[in-house]
Chains A and B, each alone.
Chain A
Amino acid sequence: EDQVTQSPEALRLQEGESSSLNCSYTVSGLRGLFWYRQDPGKGPEFLFTLYSAGEEKEKERLKATLTKKESFLHITAPKPEDSATYLCAVVGRGGATNKLIFGTGTLLAVQP
């Protein structure tokens, strides 16, 4: 069964304190791994798609990387506006290929 586990569940950082969020996945053939950001009361906002091990994507202070078992979302010199829940999701080749399998997210709080 396809599964996604995110850690930590919650993370508190000082402004400027860099860190990484982890997404471990088990999937029967990865078709894509997606990172989303979700603010309270809002829907998930798309950040990145990664397709194969070794791939990296960057956007402002965020950088996503992918291995065969996990993905990291690196946050460099975060600002308070980066506070949100970060969600990881995968699509696998087996079973129902039309759905995203989501982790439960990492709640990030960046304090000024």
Chain B
Amino acid sequence: GAGVSQSPSNKVTEKGKDVELRCDPISGHTALYWYRQSLGQGLEFLIYFQGNSAPDKSGLPSDRFSAERTGGSVSTLTIQRTQQEDSAVYLCASSTGQGANNQPQHFGDGTRLSIL
């Protein structure tokens, strides 16, 4: 069956531009997560969506980062006025049920973002 799909797979942009990253979760998965993986560092939690509940935005590093999830399915992560330190792989994951505990998260292959 289809897994988590992310697009684009690669994005190169100039400093100061805005970027949008897209995630299509596994069908029927109510929970959706965004993580960031920087070179030499572990995955860093950014934001969590569960059904119609208010998202957990506690991991967003600055107000330049925002995310939305429309219709309980597709999610878009937006980074405004990109900086070089935003360069990383942005990973999306989805799972069944509520919360990260108990239910394994299934990841997409990520968007590799490079800021020139």
Binding site for B on A (CB under 8 A): 4, 31-32, 34, 36, 41-46, 49, 51, 87, 89, 91, 96-105
Closest to B92 in A: A43
Closest to B42 in A: A102
Distance (whole angstroms) from the CB of A90 to the closest CB of chain B: 10
Closest to A88 in B: B42
B65 within 8 A of A: no
Closest to B58 in A: A96
Residues of B in contact with A, size category: 20 to 34
Binding site for A on B (CB under 8 A): 4, 31, 33, 35, 40-45, 48, 50, 56, 58-59, 91, 93, 99-102, 104-110
**Beyond A4-B42, A102-B42, is A97–B104 a contact (Cβ under 8 Å)?**
no
Closest to A43 in B: B107
Interface pair A43/B99, CB less than 8 Å apart: no
Interface pair B42/A104, CB less than 8 Å apart: yes
- Chain B contacts of A87 at CB under 8 A? 42-43
Interface pair B99/A97, CB less than 8 Å apart: yes
Interface pair B59/A99, CB less than 8 Å apart: yes
- Chain B contacts of A36 at CB under 8 A? 107
CA distance A42 to B4 in the complex (A): 12
Distance (whole angstroms) from the CB of B28 to the closest CB of chain A: 16
